[in-house]
């Protein structure tokens, strides 16, 4: 297969290369790492080789089978359709196409079956959901199937890796007591601080990240689910954490909730308060699972559950989810 990774020199792009290597390996006959003009001449490491970075124009002319995009919404809006017209299947990690009614928004374990209903033989665009939405949808899906989720109140504690390389640099520089090298990712200090803002503010007073949780959860799971969110950036690099309060139409038994989650693909339950076991980003980092714990009844409302959901936002929240979509479209040949 010929695969382009657009944004290959970036935070998510680098993890996409790693996950492609781990999961598809030698099936990738040609890799086209794509970045901006300033990166032409650089190389990225893939399968033990240094592969030169190319520009978008060169990559689209190569007509790759698959193009994984993670180079920002502007690049996706302009270039994803050009790759699709050239016959490539684009899996886009930006927010550019997620709410387009003609585009699928896929978490393979939750709604991957929708892929079979569309013809991608001449190319197309598939959207990869927002990192915070993916891990929440993963935890809600098995519970929605059993008890019908009516309303969700979520507060996120998001890793700086979700903002890209500049943000990680800012955190490291501030942590080391240095002047921040280059452009700052956040207007305020992030080390030793908590910023109640992820992405831009919208006219309704919410941030775009908060509204992504509302819009995308509806599209992936069920538009009848009402969601309200507060998205917060914390000085952490390992993954995103979420406090999720879920109101169901039907009552539940906590042990059954635990069983449903434990049986769901891609979920690991870590819930043993007596032994201080609960999910945390330090443990989730580098892993593909979504970790769920602190399962407890919300004693202030009927049929309502509190849970704590953690995942590596660069892996399941971005690169792994995208590569899983690719695997579903291009299943490995049967040995
Ligand atoms: P470059 O490294 O050349 O700037 P991050 O989210 O970690 O900041 O990474 C963003 C990724 O998107 C990088 O690989 C970056 O390349 C790439 N990128 C940004 N703008 C463009 C563009 N206009 N065309 C192609 N790639 C781009």
Q: Looking at ligand 1, which residue's alpha carbon is closest to its atom 3? A: 36
The residue to which tokens 């991608």 are assigned: 120
Q: Are residues 202 and 139 in the same domain?
A: yes
- Using CB distances shorter than 6 Å, the residues near ligand 1 are 7-11, 13, 35-36, 38-39, 56, 71-72, 75, 164-165
Token readout for 67 is 């193009």
Give the pLDDT score at 181: 84
Q: Looking at ligand 1, which residue's alpha carbon is closest to its atom 17? A: 7
Give the pLDDT score at 332: 82
Order across the sheet with 226-233: list the strands: 226-233, 149-158, 240-248, 304-311, 290-297, 267-269
Average pLDDT, the chain: 97
Query: Which of 5, 6, 7 should be mutated for ligand 1, with most atoms under 8 A from CB?
Result: 7
Mean pLDDT of the region 310-332? 97
Q: How far is the CA of 9 from the centre of ligand 1 (A)?
A: 7
Give the pLDDT score at 78: 98
Q: Flag whether pLDDT at 273 surpasses 80.
A: yes
Q: Are residues 147 and 292 in the same domain?
A: yes
Residue 140's CATH number: 3.30.360.10
Q: Residue 236's CB: how many other CB atoms inside 10 A?
A: 19
pTM strictly above 0.95: yes
pLDDT digits 0-9 by tens, 100-110: 999 999 999 99
Q: What is the rounded distance in angstroms from the CA atom of residue 42 to the CA atom of residue 32?
A: 12
Q: How far is the CA of 61 from the centre of ligand 1 (A)?
A: 19
Q: How far is the CA of 160 from the centre of ligand 1 (A)?
A: 17
Give the pLDDT score at 217: 98
Output the CA–CA distances (angstroms, integers) from residue 93 to 69, 172, 183, 282, 289, in the order listed.
Answer: 6, 25, 23, 24, 19
pLDDT band at 182 (very low <50, low <70, confident <90, very high): confident
pLDDT band at 180 (very low <50, low <70, confident <90, very high): confident
Phi, psi of 222 (to 5 degrees): -175, 120
Write out the residue range of the structural domain in which residue 290 sits: 132-313
Number of domains in the chain: 2
Residue 63's CATH number: 3.40.50.720
Neighbour-count burial for 129-164, b at 16+ CB within 10 Å, e otherwise: bbbbbbbbbbbbbbbbeebebbebbbbbbbbbbbbb
Q: Indicate the pairing of strand 240-248 with strand 304-311.
A: antiparallel
Q: What is the rounded distance in angstroms from the CA atom of residue 238 to the CA atom of residue 286?
A: 8
Q: Flag whether pLDDT at 335 surpasses 80.
A: no
């Amino acid at each position: 297969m010929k695969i382009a990774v657009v944004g290959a020199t970036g935070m998510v792009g680098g993890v996409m290369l790693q996950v492609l290597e781990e999961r598809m390996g030698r099936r990738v006959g040609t890799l086209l790492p794509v970045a901006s003009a300033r990166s032409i001449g650089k190389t990225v490491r893939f399968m033990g080789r240094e592969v030169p970075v190319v520009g978008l124009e060169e990559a689209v002319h190569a007509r790759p089978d698959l193009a994984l995009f993670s180079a920002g919404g502007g690049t996706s809006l302009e270039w994803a359709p050009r790759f699709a017209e050239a016959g490539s299947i684009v899996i886009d990690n930006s927010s550019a196409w997620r709410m387009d009614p003609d585009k699928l928004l896929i978490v393979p374990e939750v709604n991957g079956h929708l892929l079979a209903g569309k013809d991608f033989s001449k190319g197309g665009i598939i959207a990869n959901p927002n990192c915070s939405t993916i891990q929440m949808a993963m935890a809600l899906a098995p519970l929605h199937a059993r008890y019908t989720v009516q309303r969700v109140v979520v507060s996120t504690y998001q890793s700086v890796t979700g903002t890209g390389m500049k943000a990680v640099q800012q955190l490291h520089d501030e942590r080391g007591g240095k002047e921040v090298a280059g452009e700052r990712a956040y207007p305020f200090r992030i080390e030793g601080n908590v910023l109640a803002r992820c992405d831009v503010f919208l006219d309704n007073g919410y941030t775009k990240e908060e509204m992504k949780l509302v819009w995308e959860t509806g599209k992936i799971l069920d538009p009848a689910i009402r969601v309200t969110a507060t998205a917060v950036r914390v000085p952490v690099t390992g993954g995103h954490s979420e406090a999720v309060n879920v109101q169901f139409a039907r009552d539940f038994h906590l042990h059954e909730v635990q069983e449903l989650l434990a049986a769901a693909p891609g979920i690991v339950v870590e819930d043993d308060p007596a032994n201080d076991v609960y999910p945390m980003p330090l443990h989730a980092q580098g892993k593909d699972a979504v970790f769920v714990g602190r399962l407890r009844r919300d004693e202030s409302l009927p049929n309502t559950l509190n849970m704590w959901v953690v995942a590596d936002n660069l892996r399941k929240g971005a690169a792994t989810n995208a590569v899983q979509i690719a695997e579903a479209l291009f299943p490995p040949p049967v040995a």
